[in-house]
Amino acid sequence: LAQQTTLLVHADRPGPQIAPEIYGQFVEHLGRGVYEGIWVGEDSPIPNTRGIRNDVVAALKQVKVPVIRWPGGCFADSYHWRNGVGPRDRRAQEINASWGGKPDTNAFGTHEFMDFLGQIGAQPFVSVNVGSGSVQEADDWMRYMTAPADSDPGRARAANGRASPWAVPYIGVGNESWGCGGNMTAETYAATFRHYAAFLRSYSGPAARLIAVGADTDDYAWTETMMARAMTWRPDPTPLAYIDRRPLMWGLSLHFYTFAGNDWQDKGRNVGFDRTGWAKALGRASLTDALIAKHSAIMDRYDPGKTVALAVDEWGAWFASEPGTSALYLDSTLRDAVIAGVSLNIFNRHADRVKMANVAQMVNVIQSLVLTRGADMVVTPTWHVFDLYKVHQGATMIPVDVAAPDYVEGKERMPQVNVSGSRDPQGVLHLSIVNLDPDRPAPVRALLAGVAGRTATAETLTAARIDTRVEFGKPDPFVPRRLQDVRLASDTLTMTLPARSVTLVTIR
Ligand code: AHR
């Protein structure tokens, strides 16, 4: 028998703003993420605008992508930006050392990335090369992108087709410097970050916000060291020395991937999985909450005012790819939608500290929003969740207390229902509610405190099976549909969520 879930929606106790950048994306030169997924070239028969495919741009525009992180990932620490500017027929024909030694023509470089962003209306988050680059190379890139037109870097940019500077609000100072980005200890990276931070800036437009490499998953010692040693210009002066508490970092990153196997060598299949594969993946995705809470608690000790953002700049469901597919290509199933719904709810709930998140990766790689095959394109169930949840961007977080039965499968145990809420500037309240149980519907009773709304509607995404997937050339099985029997009487909302579903409730 389905047990009831009770929600206490505290619209009378509004929280912080949900940064739109929580709905950010990540794209890397990897597999078919950039080449084919975004860039097809001006001469391609695939409809494009200056080489960038129109279907992908249209799909991404619809979900209001706020920010895109590029060019990596591991690739960022072997990328030399000069290879990617100037006439395309003269660009360096490189090899992608990070991802299988495949050729990289450099046809997609700084100008093409900025053009792509302009076409979809997103901001850049550029990761500079720390691992195999230099402070000089990174600073030169910032000059090239942001220096005024009447400077030599500005003239070089204009000679390549862009006179006015670009706004570059977010700079990633390396990537995973504890691993592929340089194999550094936390102490070494903290010192390296301080060195880069002393030179990296925007030469026009908004001040650059530096994002330091943060922890992998539960490496709390890394967070501790970075906060202690690299948060401000002079963190540990002697008693007589000059104290300089100006922040060095705007944000500290966190990388966390979900899989369904036992470890990185055994991530579990992304298609044809069973109930254990469903439960293990959702159990791991649900851990995001505790991970963020623990990293935030460390940050709170150094930064009680929460001026430094936690930027979850790589997250997503990373299962084993099927044989014969391009690097890290994953088919997309209902499980991905549920993982996205749970993860984004958790980021919303931690909006006081989490100011940015970037799903890995936008097109054709890991947990994509869009998949392409030659001229064909499909949107994934993850895309639908981003589309439903876009109402949270920039809205005020509304706390919700949840009393839900547990969903149990083998050794996995987690609350059946996962929720976040927000109120938009027009006063409309939104609740995004995930039912993680693959079999049991969730009857929900929500008590609304401080809500003036009088009508409630809901849209829900589910599918026939836990591993229903999106397929090229077939109807999309994930289009959300109107949920029936959503009732609002006085301050009480009742409804029944389908099993294995993601639902957005709108109360106006
Ligand atoms: O997203 C794929 C890879 O995962 C990234 O390049 C790297 O930063 C992480 O390990």
Specify burial of residue 30 (Cβ count, 10 A radius: 0-12, 13-18, 19+).
buried
Q: Are residues 306 and 414 located together in one domain of the fold?
A: no
Tell me the pLDDT tens digit for each residue of 39-49. 999 999 999 99
pTM, entire model:
0.97
- Verify that 264 and 367 share a domain, yes or no: yes
Q: Which of 394, 422, 439 is the last residue of a domain?
A: 394
Question: Is residue 319 predicted with pLDDT exceeding 90?
Answer: yes
pLDDT surpasses 90 at 235: no
- Residue 126: strand, helix, or coil: strand
What confidence score (pLDDT) does residue 451 get? 87
Q: Which residue has the tokens 């390549």?
A: 160
9 in a structural domain? no
Are residues 25 and 97 part of one domain?
A: yes
In a domain, 177, yes or no: yes
Asked whether residue 76 is domain-assigned, the answer is yes
Unique residue bearing structure tokens 């963190």:
235
Query: What per-residue confidence (pLDDT) applies to 56?
Result: 98
User: Ligand 1: distance of its center to the CA of 331 in Å?
Assistant: 18
For residue 264, pLDDT beyond 80: yes
* DSSP, residue by residue, 469-496: B--TTS--TT--EEPS--EEETTEEEEE
Say how many domains are in the chain.
2
- 332 contact partners, CB below 8 Å, separation of at least 6: 367, 368, 371, 380, 381, 382, 469, 470
Strand blocks (E) in 259-363 = 309-317, 354-360
Cβ–Cβ under 8 Å, residues 229 and 190 = yes
What does the pLDDT look like over 343-397, one tens digit per residue? 999 999 999 999 999 999 999 999 999 999 999 999 999 999 999 999 999 999 9
Q: Which of 28, 36, 112, 176 is catalytic?
A: 176
Q: Establish if 258 belongs to a structural domain.
A: yes
pLDDT of residue 386: 98
43: which residues sit within 8 A by CB, 6+ positions away? none
Residue recorded with tokens 């095959």: 373
- The Cα 412–Cα 223 span in angstroms is 28
- Whether the CA torsion 328, 333, 338, 341 is positive or negative: it is positive
Query: Looking at residue 454, what is its pLDDT?
Result: 85
Least confident of 60-74, 163-177, 243-257: 243-257
458-492 confidence digits (pLDDT tens)? 999 999 999 999 999 999 999 999 999 999 998 99
In a domain, 115, yes or no: yes
Residue nearest to atom 9 of ligand 1 (CA): 73
CATH number of the domain bearing residue 327: 3.20.20.80
Residue 176 annotated among the catalytic residues of the structure = yes
CA distances from 35 to 29, 103, 384 (A): 8, 11, 24
Q: Quick one: average pLDDT of 188-216? A: 97
| CB distance 254 to ligand 1 below 6 Å | no
Which percentage of the chain shows pLDDT scores above 70? Answer: 99
| DSSP 8-state symbol, 129 | -
Domain extent for 215: 18-394
152 φ, ψ (degrees, to nearest 5): -60, -45
State whether 337 and 193 are in the same domain: yes
- Looking at the CA of residue 316, tell me the nearest atom of ligand 1: 1
Give pLDDT, residue 362: 97
**230 and 288 housed in the same domain:** yes
The pLDDT of residue 31: 97
pLDDT in the model for residue 233: 87
In terms of domains, do 417 and 385 share one?
no
- pLDDT above 90 covers a percentage of the chain that reads 95
Q: Does residue 10 lie in a domain region?
A: no
Domain boundary among 394, 409, 433: 394
Residue 6 is assigned to a structural domain of this protein: no
209 falls in which pLDDT band (50, 70, 90)? very high
pLDDT tier at 237 (50, 70, 90 boundaries)?
Answer: low
For strand 370-373 and strand 376-379, is the pairing parallel, antiparallel, or unpaired? antiparallel
413 & 364 share domain: no
Q: Does the CB atom of residue 104 touch ligand 1 within 6 A?
A: no
Same domain, 371 and 462: no
Q: Does residue 369 share a domain with residue 471? A: no
94 is catalytic: no
* Residues 309, 357: Cα–Cα separation, whole Å: 10
Average pLDDT rounded to a whole number, residues 250-256? 98
Q: Which helix (H) or strand (E) holds 110?
A: helix 110-120
The residue type found at 382 is T
SS3 for 293?
helix
Residue from 127, 253, 255 whose mutation best tests the ligand 1 pocket (most atoms within 8 A of CB): 255
Asked if 89 and 153 sit in the same domain, the reply is yes
Please indicate whether residue 422, judged by its CB atom, sits closer than 6 Å to ligand 1: no
What's the mean pLDDT when you consider all of the chain?
96
- CA dist., res. 160 & res. 155, Å (int): 9
Residue 1's pLDDT is what?
63
Residue 73 near ligand 1, beta carbon < 6 Å: yes
Tell me: the pLDDT tens digits for 61-116? 999 999 999 999 999 999 999 999 999 999 999 999 999 999 999 999 999 999 99
422 and 375 inside one domain: no
Query: Residue 218: helix, strand or coil by DSSP?
Result: coil
List strand residue ranges (DSSP E) for 348-469, in order: 354-360, 370-373, 376-379, 396-398, 400-403, 406-409, 412-415, 417-423, 429-435, 442-449, 456-461
Out of 139-143, 232-236, 419-423, which region has the weakest mean confidence (pLDDT)? 232-236
Residue 38 maps to a domain: yes
- Rounded to an integer, the average pLDDT of 1-18 is 94
Verify that 25 and 136 share a domain, yes or no. Answer: yes
Q: What is the pLDDT of residue 282?
A: 98
Identify the band that residue 505 occupies on the pLDDT scale cut at 50, 70 and 90. very high
| C-alpha–C-alpha distance, residues 55 and 370, integer Å | 10
| Domain stop point among 362, 378, 394 | 394
How many whole angstroms separate alpha carbon 212 and alpha carbon 432?
31
361: Cβ below 6 Å to ligand 1?
yes
Contact 72 CB / ligand 1 (< 6 Å): yes
